[in-house]
Amino acid sequence: MMMNISIIGLGWLGKPLGDALVNLGYVVKGSTTSNDKLSVLKEAGYDAYKVQMNESEVQGDIAELLAYSEVLILNTPPGLRRNPTSDYVGKIKQLVPFIERSSIKQVLFIGSTAVFADTESMHIITNNTMPNSEGVSGVQLATVEKLLMNNAHFKTTILRFAGLVDERRHPATMMSKRKQIPNPLAPVNLIHREDCIGVIQQIISQRKWGEVYNAAYPLHPTKQEYYTNICEQKKIANPDFNRTGVSKGKLIDGQKTAEELNYTYTHSIVNE
């Protein structure tokens, strides 16, 4: 019998992920923070709920969302670019007691490679590399990772994605509008949304719980080379890089994740 899965965050990644899991035979429930999106999801046949997390409480139908599910996919980015003062750790702390009281046995936390610092050595990041970012987002994400993995009520797998792209959403669009972009010689770390979904499917089907994975497409040209080429393909203005000083960056090695999950990254970041 296929397991029941709850997804917090049926957005750009969560909605197509939910669709893919339903197509595989899983029973999927999900949440959104928007009344409009809630209506759309329900019209599409989703068992959907409105859930809003903040630092003081979790608002909405969180108990119903988690009820009877074995797996929770926690897909809620910190959102610190839009709100730098947001307490992401506090929000997750408010959520944890609801998970503990529910039928959830496994949590898949969709994290980010932002937990790793950029350095002049452009060091290679593996699944065994410890988070070392001093940035606000990286520190909060790393704290949430520990919070979830140290909880004895459920087993947590951490899945850190590199930058997300698809055919319509690509950072080159934003980069083409910027001036004096730093670190032109840093490696690019990206992953297509379809590969994100594929990796998640493998973790769930193989029941890889209590693990830590980094996922990125195995091609890492420099930012300068890559984004200039993509902007030319899209026929938009080339990005303006600051070529003075020493570039800092990191290289996310997602190959070990692919090997452990018997997965092949199939969606190139080059021609998106």
| Amino acid (1-letter code) at residue 62 | I
The mean pLDDT value for 222-231 works out to 95
pLDDT at 2: 78
Does residue 81 register a pLDDT over 80? no
Q: pLDDT-derived band of residue 167, with 50, 70 and 90 as boundaries? A: confident
pLDDT at 271: 62
Does residue 272 register a pLDDT over 80? no
pLDDT at 1: 56
User: Pick from 64, 61, 66, 90: which is nearest to 7 by CA?
Assistant: 66
pTM score, whole prediction: 0.96
For residue 76, the 8-state DSSP code is -
pLDDT at 227: 95
Rama region for 253: left / alpha / beta (φ>0; ψ in -120 to 50; rest): beta
110 has which bridge partners?
A: 159
Give residue-wise pLDDT tens across range 34-76. 999 999 999 988 999 999 999 999 999 999 999 999 999 999 9
The mean pLDDT value for 191-213 works out to 98
Q: pLDDT-derived band of residue 201, with 50, 70 and 90 as boundaries? A: very high
Average pLDDT of the chain, as a whole number: 95
DSSP run (H or E) holding 216: none
